[in-house]
Structure 1
Amino acid sequence: MRDAFGTTFDVDGVYLNTPSIGLPPQPVVAAVSDAVVAWGRAETSAPQFDAPVATARGAFAQLVGVPASSVVLGTAVSGLLGLVAASLPPGARVLTADREFTSVTFPFVAAGHEVVELPLDELPERTRAADVVAVSVVASADGAVVDLDALRAEVGPDTLVVLDATQSLGWLPADLSWADVVVAGGYKWLLSPRGAAWMALSDRLAERVAPVQSGWYAGGWDAIYGLPLRLHPDARRFDLSPVWLAQVGAAVALPWLASLDAAAVREHAVGLANRVRTGLDLPPAESAIVSVRHPGAPDRLGRAGVRCAVRGGAARLGFHLHNTEDDADAVVEAVRASSSSG
């Protein structure tokens, strides 16, 4: 067990795979476990899940800096962005970063748009030639952070900005409220069960999006049978029916994350990542994700019991709330160990 930021994590060993699957604190685990037990005892009803859905939606809005009325409920980033892609004129020009996560790019390609990949540092200055800029705030592959200030300064008034905050929301405080789309999956840094995702929509884009995926939940309990079409007047009209157990966990995780000192969370996560970078003679960075390309690093880390992912041949490490200096030092020791000692 580890105590961190006022809660407890049931973890032994060195878990640095948050960019793949976040480690929930015990109150989240308990809430979901209790909901599963109640389900198994036939003690649940559909309306009782409306409260956790609303709580999680409100906390996501707080983390992004938008009103809850602008937040759409979904289950995955790609599905939510599919709505956006379908709303664009045919053949729209979409700029994105090299090696962007495909849940961001595939919906636009599948919708028939022209998607152009650029080096991340060139993206801001090229935005005026695009109808849409779609990019992750923090890159999944290696933790590179987009220059949000430059992007905001350079983007043209008619260019839509789509930000995937899946790898940033929960540790990186940033003003994202100006973007047309801010989307995030909940099961990584937001420490929620898989099956919960949210999307904040600007008013100008919401007017253009057709609610083509909407079912009964987009209209509420008064819209479960029969015509005519009747949907919520705000962003809830785009909602997918929620994954109930995922929302139960999110309703605990997201308000807690939103209550924390965001600067302290960032300092903790980035500080540990930079402790590793210093120990491995890598330049400091402003990301909680570290990409380690030292020869044999993934194998050495695996033998040392460090849980992480491999992306592009490099070990990808993510430092979040439960991690400690001992975790960072274990990485440095494992990677620096000679082959004979491993």
Structure 2
Amino acid sequence: MDATLWDASPGWLNTASYGLPPRRAFEALQAMLSDWRVGRTSWEGWDGSTGRARDAYARLIGVAPADVCVGAQVSQVLAPVAVALAGRRFLVPEEEFTSNLFPWLVAGEVRTAPAAALAERVDRSVDAVAFSLVQSATGAVADYAGVVAAARAHGALVIVDATQACGWLPFDGMLADVVVTGGYKWLMAPRGAAFAYLAPSLRERMTPYAAGWYAGEDVHASYYGPPLRLAADARRFDISPSWPAYVGAAPALELVEELGVAAIGAHDVALANRFLAGLDRPPGDSAIVTVDVPGAEERLSRAGIRAAVRAGRVRASFHAYTTEADVDAALNALTS
């Protein structure tokens, strides 16, 4: 993996918190900000990046762009799904990140289960299974195919949060009814870009209560006055995008495509396993690992290593810009 495509300072092992922008994404954003500062151009050029990012996301997860809406955050793009499923019964992992939990707690009845046992807990009492493809807290990779098979066998919907997976873990978005992704982690976009695949069969049950001009069939003919004229596809659930976020998102997602998700994943997991081996831990299958190391926070901070540390438990995450030198520096800090 060519680390020179980024300007990462040594020691960043925290992509699970936020990803670092590729140089081309950062430069695109700086050019946009320069134009905005002096009023050099109109907004239409910036908005072209929204369509590019939508298309790239659709290709990355194997769905049609017409089935993808754009938004700002995961919980926001999930809101119309929650409204459509109000009063239903949801099954969610016990440690699920709350952006994919609170909407269901608001909407209906929630039952939790250990993430590893999710598939076996699906039964006829479950209307929808909502889970992260990769768990934020532990890095555990879900049994995607197993959960989908169990849900389909019992007539349940499948709602997937791919925020900690999309960009390093290949998966088929078409298996689910909903796939949501915050773009600012493994897709390395600015915060404020989020995407959702919404299966057509589910969209028929959803109402775009947040519809504005950008949800129109022709956005340039949707500025003023009735009648209602929304897009016929998933764009009716778009919110007006933050242009800086999408100007940075488009080149970042396109670079992920160029490098290949499988190649990025192989790189990331190899570095994660190098880190685990250095701590005498068995290898895993995730780009996110958590380990208990006494005094970890002070040791890492002293060495200039940036990773998430909670009560002595290290959560380290490795991505395309991470190098073996980064891993070895962290190991030296934790074992010396």
Normalised to the residue count of structure 2, the TM-score between the two structures is 0.96
Within 2, Cα distance between the matches of 1:313 and 1:117?
27
Identity across aligned pairs (percent)?
47
Residues 107-256 of structure 1 mapped to structure 2, 5 A cutoff = 107-111=103-107, 113-128=108-123, 129-156=125-152, 158-219=155-216, 220-256=219-255
CA shift digits 1:51-72 (9 cap, x unpaired): 1111000000001110000001
**AA matched with 1:245:** P
**AA matched with 1:115:** V
Structure 1 residues 316 and 6 mapped into 2: Cα distance closer, same or farther (>3 Å)? Answer: closer
Structure 1 unaligned residues grouped into runs of 5+? 338-342
Cα distance, 1:116 vs structure 2: 1.5
Cα distance, 1:80 vs structure 2: 0.8
**Matching of residue 9 in structure 1 with residue 14 in structure 2:** no
CA shift digits 1:10-43 (9 cap, x unpaired): 1222001111111111111100000000000101
Q: CA contact under 8 A between 2:71 and 2:195: conserved in structure 1?
A: yes
Moved more, 156-165 or 285-294: 156-165
Query: What corresponds to 2:280 in structure 1?
Result: 281
Cα distance, 1:7 vs structure 2: 5.1
SS at 1:123's partner residue? helix
**Matching of residue 310 in structure 1 with residue 314 in structure 2:** no
Cα distance, 1:153 vs structure 2: 2.1
**AA matched with 2:214:** Y
SS at 2:39's partner residue? coil
Moved more, 56-65 or 309-318: 309-318
Within 2, Cα distance between the matches of 1:100 and 1:188?
17
Structure 2 unaligned residues grouped into runs of 5+? none
Report how many residues are paired.
332
Structure 1 residues 7 and 256 mapped into 2: Cα distance closer, same or farther (>3 Å)? Answer: farther
Cα distance, 1:292 vs structure 2: 1.8
- Given candidates 58, 61, 64, the residue that maps to 2:58 is 61
Give the CA RMSD over aligned residues: 1.4
- Given candidates 28, 43, 47, the residue that maps to 2:44 is 47
Q: CA contact under 8 A between 2:294 and 2:312: conserved in structure 1?
A: no
SS at 2:101's partner residue? helix
Within 2, Cα distance between the matches of 1:317 and 1:46?
39
**AA matched with 2:142:** V
Q: CA contact under 8 A between 1:166 and 1:188: conserved in structure 2?
A: yes
Q: CA contact under 8 A between 1:83 and 1:212: conserved in structure 2?
A: yes
Query: What corresponds to 2:92 in structure 1?
Result: 96
Within 2, Cα distance between the matches of 1:248 and 1:114?
39
